[in-house]
Structure 1
Amino acid sequence: MSNIPALLTSVRGPVLFPDDAGFADEAAVFNTVVTHEPHVIIGATHATDVQAAVRFAAEEGRSVAVLNSGHGPSLPVSGEAVLITTRRMTRVTVDSVRRTARVEAGVTWGQVVEAAANVGLAPLAGSSPQVGVVGYTLGGGVSIALGRAFGYAADHVRAVDLVTADGELRHVTPASDPDLFAALLGGKGNFGVVTALEFSLFPVAEVYAGSLQYAGEDAAAVLAAYGSLAATAPDALTSSIIFLRAPDLPFVPESMRGKLSIFVRVAYPGPAVDGEALIAPLRAAAPVLADTVTMLPVGQIASIANDPTDPATGVEHFVLLDELTPSMMDTILAYAGPDSDGSLTLVNLTQLGGAFATPPQPPNAVRRDVAFALLALTFVPPGAPVNQQEAGSALTGRLGDKRHPGYLSPADASVDGVRAAYDEATYERLRTVKTTWDPGNMFRWTFNIPPRT
């Protein structure tokens, strides 16, 4: 074990340097497209550990990075940086009377969904129970079950506990610090280390939800039916369409290996009879190979997506669409349909709009002027060079250049890439807040918004 600097002796969790046992495991991430090699890792167990880490970084002139659940890809952290991991900060408190949850920084959505469902409430959770609440919410947070009905997860945050660059722990609310509060929600990790969030829950006990699976050769018919549904869908219906060309690997069901399948995921927080009427055209569009759409308790919403649970390497590219035109559908089919070259593993088109488009009160920095979000992902087999897996950029480049703070990948980490996630006025407000609270750009290991100099 390395000698621990005096400023870090108060830390209750592990303090790990590169030569220490457990360093690599502590820095491990879900999407192995990035790896972290910081100067030191602080495994925080409490907000005071985070404060000690930030004060140590300030004293030594170092930058600070944060790894919450490790589920999503992030920027590779290296060199002089202090990396704070929060996976030990897992307390969840649900107030059924106020319909709120308070969660610490390492909490994942599976924990919140279970705790809320036990009292008949639902959060605006991510698609996977392994997704970290804080990182997801700071980017906006698109719930695949309730998003179009209630908006972004960020829109319903009530308070943020934040350690700022001076090492102070602040309870940030719309009343206490309106500009900082607005910037945190959509501005990602640029302004400090979030140690806890408080947010609203919703009185939803079940949803009419699940997925419809089709053969790849029916992609055009299903996409056309999906486009028609999206054009007329009520705000309460949240949906997405997925083109999945499953890799030929042991963890993939044999019937799907190397084949293209189409999935449409839907969720409707209303009566089954109304949900059935809404998606009837989808069921009629082509032969349905598997149909899991049913009344689903909110405690089981992760089954809508049934996301992978094991770490892997995937190169992601995102783009935002103002509309879904026939020409755009043709482009998607050309790159992801049955006659494509198969270089893309997954294309996921999610409808936004609905409550996502409604400006919240108090305001935040999440983008609202888009109708769809598209993810293009290439799975990188073990041992294959990551830098040769750029197929998704060809598709997204054909569709536009709009970005969103919740849909950024390492490929978008340039100044211009991050700037494209905001309109000009919002970006300038974020730079003002950054200059006030982090003028030295300590928190730059994120999709960075630089301070003014």
Structure 2
Amino acid sequence: MGIELDTTAVARLREAVTGTIYTRGEEGLAAEVSCFNPAIRHDPDIVVAVATEGDVVEAVRFAREAGIPVRVQATGHGAEAPISGGMIISTRGIDQLSVDPETRLARIGAGVRWAPVIVAAAEHGLAPITGSSTSVGAVGYSLGGGIGPLARQFGFTADWVRGFRVVTADGTVVTADGETNTDLFWALRGGKGGLGVVTEMLLELVSLRSLYGGSVFFEGDAIEPAFRAWIDWSADLPDEATTSVVLLNVPDMDGPPPPLRGRTVLSVRFAYPGDPVEGERLFAPIRDAAPVYLDFVAEMPATAVASIHNDPEEGGPTWIRGLMLDTFDQDAGDVILELAGPGSGAPFLAVELRQIGGATARDPEDGTSVGGRDSGYTLSLLAGDPSTFAEAAPARALAIAQALGGRVSAITNVNFAGDLADKAAFEKVWPPAVFERLRSAREQWDPERVFAFGPPDSSLNQPA
């Protein structure tokens, strides 16, 4: 049920901040902390919708004095479990953005989504290494690593972060970069949470105006041969090319494009930031694998990167389970087709495989805490029928993981881990040495555990 807040202290906080404060039961609270997945509803004691970095300082100091845990949310895309009690700092109002074309650096506020970053960078022939969805918050996404449509060529988004401004547990504003507070900088590039509130991120951009990419769709009898062709074809792609594949059971309802409604399809995605002639040549084996239902692969401006995955802009109730895989071969393909393919009775709207490797396997020279660099693929299972969330979806996901056996990676990147409340799963989102170093960093920067992150009984939350 939460705690009884000191009304006098809350009143002082309202006077001290320029943003808006909501306490439990007040109108506007639910809307401020709404999630992309509407099945998740937060119920905190207090929400501070900050407008400035100074607001964050005041909010953290209030929470520390009140003895309540602090969590942070911007766009709500990363919410995997309801938050009950404590404080949520909503950073969507910190929306400053600037691009320096000389240094190729973007300064990105904590609440900025990828879409405006892409537009601002494109004015100078530049592009961020972004995720598949441009409506996701840039900062929260990058704190976990970030695997996007150009990952094999350019690596994790975190690899391109050059600095942060952070409000620490004692309400102090610090800079963390390659020269100042380097331990905190390392931890924030992949450590995700529990270290402070990032108010600004400095991101290096790449020179990129166009690429050859998009997606093709197969249906009916073409699904299996196209999927099997993708398995062998992707294994031989150069690092400059990035691809993923997704089995979609598209509902017959408003929202999805009419040609896809009510259909089961396989979509192969592709991105090649090089010569379009070479990109077309590299992609030809997929077009030749089976009759193509829809073809949207072509040369495109870098600003159209979101069309490669075409993720929904509006959220719906979802259950998601993510894994990382060391390898994926035809035997693994048998597992997916049998347990999640057409006619399998699987409860999933989408079963997605992303090939990684290439630059994602190489940690930058200055080092990051990103987990999952040794994996070759990601596997995401998404269900959309709430009646399947408690039993059917988890059971089928477990069956798939068990059938894949030794291919399942020992480490799963934190952005793919889903609900972080499970201690055993949480402690496998970083390699052991990285986990220990993160624990030491948290002990240094948040010794009183002001910032709630992960299971309370995890060793990450215990003194080093």
Normalised TM-score (structure 1): 0.95
Match of 1:117 among 98, 122, 143: 122
Instruction: Give the Cα separation in 2 of the matches to 1:293 and 1:442.
Output: 48
Q: Which shows bigger deviation, 46-55 or 210-219?
A: 210-219
Q: 1:16 is paired with a residue of what secondary structure?
A: strand
- Where does residue 243 of structure 1 map in the other structure? 247
- Where does residue 406 of structure 1 map in the other structure? 415
Q: Which shows bigger deviation, 27-36 or 366-375?
A: 27-36
Instruction: Give the Cα separation in 2 of the matches to 1:42 and 1:105.
Output: 14
- Where does residue 12 of structure 1 map in the other structure? 18
Instruction: Give the Cα separation in 1 of the matches to 2:409 and 2:436.
Output: 19
- Which residue identity is paired with 1:409? G
Q: 1:236 is paired with a residue of what secondary structure?
A: coil
- Where does residue 273 of structure 2 map in the other structure? 269
Shift of 1:216: 4.0
1:71 maps to 2:77:
yes
Q: In the alignment, is the contact (CA less than 8 A) between 2:122 and 2:302 conserved in 1?
A: yes
- Which residue identity is paired with 1:20? E
Instruction: Give the Cα separation in 2 of the matches to 1:96 and 1:424.
Output: 39
- Where does residue 90 of structure 2 map in the other structure? 85
Instruction: Give the Cα separation in 2 of the matches to 1:5 and 1:75.
Output: 30
Shift of 1:312: 0.8
1:379 maps to 2:384:
yes
Instruction: Give the Cα separation in 1 of the matches to 2:257 and 2:130.
Output: 27
How many residues align structurally? 447
Match of 1:351 among 346, 355, 365: 355
Instruction: Give the Cα separation in 1 of the matches to 2:73 and 2:220.
Output: 37
- Which residue identity is paired with 1:190? G
- Where does residue 451 of structure 1 map in the other structure? 462
- Where does residue 282 of structure 2 map in the other structure? 278
Query: Following superposition of structure 1 onto structure 2, how do residues 198-347 of structure 1 map, counting pairs within 5 Å?
Result: 198-347=202-351
Shift of 1:446: 4.9
Query: Following superposition of structure 1 onto structure 2, how do residues 33-182 of structure 1 map, counting pairs within 5 Å?
Result: 33-79=39-85, 81-144=86-149, 146-182=150-186
1:421 maps to 2:429:
yes
Normalised TM-score (structure 2): 0.93
Instruction: Give the Cα separation in 2 of the matches to 1:113 and 1:396.
Output: 36
**Deviation per residue, 1:251-287 (Å, 9 max, x gap):** 2345434431000010001111100111111000011
1:442 maps to 2:450:
yes
Q: Which shows bigger deviation, 307-316 or 196-205?
A: 307-316
Instruction: Give the Cα separation in 2 of the matches to 1:322 and 1:401.
Output: 5
Shift of 1:100: 0.8
Instruction: Give the Cα separation in 2 of the matches to 1:394 and 1:50.
Output: 44
Shift of 1:308: 0.8
Instruction: Give the Cα separation in 2 of the matches to 1:253 and 1:406.
Output: 28
- Which residue identity is paired with 2:428? A
Q: In the alignment, is the contact (CA less than 8 A) between 2:22 and 2:28 conserved in 1?
A: yes
1:163 to 1:242, Cα distance in 2 relative to 1, 3 A:
same
- Which residue identity is paired with 2:416? Y
Q: 1:376 is paired with a residue of what secondary structure?
A: strand
Q: 2:379 is paired with a residue of what secondary structure?
A: strand
Q: In the alignment, is the contact (CA less than 8 A) between 2:75 and 2:111 conserved in 1?
A: yes
Q: 1:361 is paired with a residue of what secondary structure?
A: coil
**Deviation per residue, 1:321-352 (Å, 9 max, x gap):** 11112221111111221231141110110011
Instruction: Give the Cα separation in 2 of the matches to 1:290 and 1:159.
Output: 42
Q: Percent identity?
A: 36
1:393 to 1:92, Cα distance in 2 relative to 1, 3 A:
farther
Shift of 1:371: 0.4
Instruction: Give the Cα separation in 1 of the matches to 2:451 and 2:359.
Output: 31
Q: In the alignment, is the contact (CA less than 8 A) between 2:215 and 2:270 conserved in 1?
A: yes
1:326 to 1:418, Cα distance in 2 relative to 1, 3 A:
same
Q: 1:431 is paired with a residue of what secondary structure?
A: helix
Instruction: Give the Cα separation in 1 of the matches to 2:309 and 2:30.
Output: 30
- Which residue identity is paired with 2:46? V
Structure 1 unaligned residues grouped into runs of 5+: none
Instruction: Give the Cα separation in 2 of the matches to 1:408 and 1:365.
Output: 15
Shift of 1:242: 0.5
Instruction: Give the Cα separation in 1 of the matches to 2:220 and 2:103.
Output: 46
Shift of 1:68: 1.1
Q: In the alignment, is the contact (CA less than 8 A) between 2:426 and 2:454 conserved in 1?
A: no
Structure 2 unaligned residues grouped into runs of 5+: 1-6
- Which residue identity is paired with 2:318? G
Structure 1 vs Structure 2 CA RMSD: 1.7
Q: 1:77 is paired with a residue of what secondary structure?
A: coil
